[in-house]
Amino acid sequence: MIEKERMTEHVMDLIRIDSLSKNEKDVAIKLQKDMEDLGAECFYDDAGEKVNGNVGNLIVKLEGNKSDALPFFLSAHMDTVGPGEGIKPSIEDGIMKSDGTTILGSDDKSGVAIIVETIRALKDNGIPHGDIEIAFTICEEIGLLGAKHIDISKFKAKHGIVLDSSTPDRLVLRCPSAERMEFIVHGLEAHAGLCPENGISAIQLASEAISKMKLGRINDITTANIGVIHGGRATNIIPNHVRVVGEARSHSEEILREQVDHMRKCFHDAVSKNEVTIHDDLSIEGITYIAKLDEYIERSYDRMDVDVKCLPVILVETAVKNLGYTIEHHTSGGGCDANYFNEMGIECVNLGTGMYELHTVNEYLVMEEFFRSADIVLESIRLNTIIPS
């Protein structure tokens, strides 16, 4: 019932539309037309204004043809990471790739295309279904900001599927909590060749802090990373300012707090007691300058932990069985929009779409898994009309 050729052409059309985070408007306009052509109602919320983007989340409502069926929720995000402009997708031997100069953008255009094809298949085949509610979100890649700021009151559905993971062989039920950390080290400028002893190098202090940190894989359920460093103006100037941004993630709140405190301590220890006294002809005692640290710690999102006996799990597992596939429960190290949706009261699982090597120019989409994921979503929606809640 899924039309593979139509689905393939559609995902390639979506991929060719640039949609870096905060610039999703062009792809949103296309999706709005696609959905309205299928008889759906479309509107935007104000999430774009809240994050300084050029469009809000696209919310879609499709009326069901079976009045006693529960409403069903679907979601995928419209934004991509860079390098993601001028993407040129192609398919060879059942694998879709870019030309190697950009990402592919299957994260998450594949999820978006699966949702659109599912709705088309429902309409084409007259499949019984309840009301379908869809959130095509913005800014997922920069902190799940679209989901964070979505107007959840616009939705009646209490369960559904988010399409934003790798393989449909796995059903993501658990995602970690995450905290974002920003450290700003203030040192003292001086000429690096004439009087370096009169300066305090902010870069050196930040480097010392980072060198003492436990980073990468902390344990089976915890990771940490320093991802951004900005500082310095020239090689002949002792840098007086550096900005460092990192994160920590864990499925344990206690371990997450320990890791964040550890990273904070590394910075505080490196910066503390760093001072320099500068003497000149006007001051016998000299002037003492002390290094300083500013820090900003923010919760990015809370962990997701879906009950294995909840309705969306039952629907997907039954769909997989009916179709002759297999699937396993999975614990992910990454967050997704489902973190927020579950917290807000829409119980969601995260189903893979066949995308791999994400956030790199080596990204690829396995077409067989892409089609399989659509089959699973379509069957789950059909089962939603007959499996009791």
What angle in degrees, to the nearest 10, is found between the helix axes of 106-125 and 25-37?
10
202-229 exposure pattern, b = at least 16 Cβ within 10 A, e = fewer: bbbbbbbbbeebeeeebeebbbbebeeb
Local structure of residue 70 (DSSP, 8 states) = P
Amino acid letter, 238: I
How far apart, in whole angstroms, are the C-alpha atoms of residue 316 and residue 304?
A: 18
Using CA atoms, how far residue 247 sits from 234, 261, 300, 332, in Å, is 28, 12, 9, 16
Strand positions, DSSP E, 2-94: 41-44, 58-62, 72-77, 90-92
Tell me whether the omega of the peptide bond preceding residue 89 falls within 30 degrees of 0, making it cis. Answer: no
How far apart, in whole angstroms, are the C-alpha atoms of residue 203 and residue 200?
A: 9
Active-site amino acid positions? 79, 140
